[in-house]
Amino acid sequence: MNIATIGLVVIFAAVLLMNTIKILREYERGVVFFLGRFQAVKGPGLIVLFPGIQKMVKVDLRVTTMDVPTQDVISRDNVSVKVNAVIFVKIVDPEKAIIQVENAYEATSQKAQTTLRSVLGQHQLDEMLSEREKLNADIQQILDQQTDAWGIKVQNVELKHVDLNENMIRAIAQQAEAERSRRAKIINAEGEKQAAQMLAEAANMLGTEKQALQLRYLQTLKEIANERTNTIVFPLPLDLIEPLRSILERADKD
């Protein structure tokens, strides 16, 4: 055998060896077909194939992040918004992911877009802005059920942005301002109500306790005396002179 023939044999052996021995990483699996028919899911580690008879398709089992393009959504209260999201998916059944769908990730992306529009269209704008966690869970649950037949697990869905037009932003700002004004008036009214109740309780207490009323009267006189006035005119309550009048009446009788 000449050198050229030996070289061709070596090259052929190398190519045959490369097509025969495959090494799969820990996060990889190989879907093996025997004469076009599904045979087994193998890996990780060393895989031996018969060239021309067996063929293997690699599948990555790691979590993949997929951006959902911006979607035009009309809410239940007829508000047009633009929404985009991100989903986290992974292949849990390599056999289904290869056999049941041509491109599992592309199919999941398209399904995510339609599911996003469908779910958000059933909610009002206020719910989109304030209940994102609930909407994320609803979209994730529906999408996960739909992709189960493809061997895809949707682990999480996150709404990234809910974009509004300028007119809607101004309307929401006016609504928020009106809500704050309403709450301020309610708080002010509650304060007035509590103050009136406390004043009524104080008046009832002073009315039932003569000593308390006299003390309050004396306290008021003290406060007036501290004012910078030349002359102070004040009525003298009968409660203060009642004891003196009683003494004078007994003296007249005697």
pLDDT digits 0-9 by tens, 83-104: 999 999 999 999 999 999 999 9
Rounded to whole angstroms, the Cα distance separating 213 from 170 reads 57
pLDDT digits 0-9 by tens, 134-158: 999 999 999 999 999 999 999 999 9
Rounded to whole angstroms, the Cα distance separating 142 from 115 reads 8
List residues bridging with 42 in a β-sheet.
30
Pairing of strands 45-48, 54-60: unpaired
Q: Which residue type, as a one-letter code, is found at position 186?
A: I
Establish whether the linkage from the previous residue to 44 is cis, with ω within 30° of 0.
yes
CATH number attached to the domain at 64-164? 3.30.479.30
pLDDT digits 0-9 by tens, 170-196: 666 566 667 777 787 888 888 888 888
Tell me which residue of 8, 111, 124 sits closest to 73, measured CA to CA: 124
Task: Report, as an integer, the average pLDDT of 62-74.
Answer: 91
3-state secondary structure of 80: strand
pLDDT digits 0-9 by tens, 191-228: 888 888 887 777 676 666 655 656 666 666 666 666 66
Residue with tokens 């009214």: 189
In this prediction, residue 10 carries a pLDDT of 64
Contact, 40 vs 94, CB < 8 A?
A: no
Mean of all residue pLDDT scores within the chain? 81
Q: Where are the domains of the chain?
A: 3-60, 64-164, 209-253
In this prediction, residue 148 carries a pLDDT of 93
Rounded to whole angstroms, the Cα distance separating 56 from 47 reads 10
